[in-house]
Homo-oligomer: A and B are copies of this chain.
Amino acid sequence: MEILIATANAGKAREFREMLGDQQHAWKDLSAFPKGEEVAETGSTFRANACIKASAYARRHAMWALADDSGLEVDALGGKPGIVSARWAQIHQAGAGDAANNALLLKQLNNVPDAQRGARFVCVLALADPQGRIILTARGDVEGEILREPRGTNGFGYDPLFRVKSMGIAMAELDAARKHAISHRGSALKRLGTLLERVGGVGA
Please list the residues of chain A having a beta carbon within 8 angstroms of any beta carbon in chain B: 42-45, 47-48, 51, 132-140, 191-192, 194-195, 198-200, 202
Q: Do B191 and A199 have beta carbons less than 8 Å apart? A: no
Given A43-B48, A199-B199, A202-B194, decide whether A137 and B135 contact each other with a Cβ distance below 8 A: yes
Residues of B within 8 A of A138 (CB): 133-135
Q: A45-B48, A194-B202, A199-B195 are in contact. Are A134 and B133 (CB under 8 A)?
A: no
Cβ distance A163 to chain B, nearest Cβ, rounded Å: 23
A133 touches B44 (CB 8 A): no
Chain B residues positioned under 8 Å from A191 (CB to CB): 133-134
Instruction: Report whether B198 and A137 are in contact in the complex, using a CB–CB cutoff of 8 Å.
Output: no
Identify whether the interface residues of A are mostly helix, strand, loop, or mixed.
mixed
What is the CA–CA distance of A111 and B43 in the complex, to the nearest angstrom?
A: 35
In the complex, which residues of chain B have a beta carbon less than 8 angstroms from the beta carbon of A132? Answer: 139
Interface centre among A43, A199, A202 (most CB of B within 10 A): A199
Q: Give the distance to chain B from A138, nearest Cβ to Cβ, in Å.
A: 5
Cβ contact within 8 Å between B199 and A135: no
Whole-angstrom CA separation of A136 from B45 in the bound complex: 16
CA A121 to CA B194, docked complex, whole Å: 33
Residues from chain B with Cβ under 8 Å of A45 in the complex: 43, 48
* Chain B residues closer than 8 Å to A192, beta-carbon distance: 134
Provide the bound-state CA to CA distance between A51 and B135, in Å.
11
B135 touches A47 (CB 8 A): yes
Q: Known: A43-B48, A135-B137. Is A198-B202 also a contact (CB below 8 A)?
A: yes
25 residue pairs A–B, Cβ–Cβ below 8 Å: A42-B44, A43-B44, A43-B45, A43-B48, A44-B48, A47-B48, A47-B51, A47-B135, A48-B51, A51-B137, A132-B139, A133-B138, A133-B139, A133-B140, A133-B191, A134-B137, A134-B195, A136-B195, A137-B137, A194-B202, A195-B202, A198-B198, A198-B199, A198-B202, A199-B199
